[in-house]
Amino acid sequence: DAGITQSPRHKVTETGTPVTLRCHQTENHRYMYWYRQDPGHGLRLIHYSYGVKDTDKGEVSDGYSVSRSKTEDFLLTLESATSSQTSVYFCAISVVGTYEQYFGPGTRLTVT
């Protein structure tokens, strides 16, 4: 599992509140990703990081921001949560040079 953890694993929050999800890895991988998974859409990339303080947008980045101040942590923030952001969020890492990708256990977020 490449030592990937996500916190929290489940969260229920109200519309308009800020939410931060954390992805933590223990193996010093350079590339980290945040995906969301929704019925009918599959997995879609929100943001990714290619190093400390180096991030870029994915295909569904509106309403989300990310930060990476340490190699091991990649944070996803919903500044003002909306019901459309109810989803399961997966963090992942890539092993440079191999194309292997490993996923965290997921965070189920419900926005009421």
Partner 1 sequence: KNEVEQSPQNLTAQEGEFITINCSYSVGISALHWLQQHPGGGIVSLFMLSSGKKKHGRLIATINIQEKHSSLHITASHPRDSAVYICAVNSGGSNYKLTFGKGTLLTVNP
Binding site for partner 1 (CB under 8 A): 31, 33, 40-45, 48, 50, 56, 58, 90, 92, 94, 96, 99-106
Q: Write out 2-52 in H/E/C secondary structure.
A: CCEEEECCEEEECCCCCEEEEEEECCCCCEEEEEEEECCCEEEEEEEEEEC
Structure tokens at 91: 């963090």
CB of 99 to partner 1, least distance (A): 4
Nearest CB to partner 1, comparing residues 59 and 82:
59
CB of 105 to partner 1, least distance (A): 5
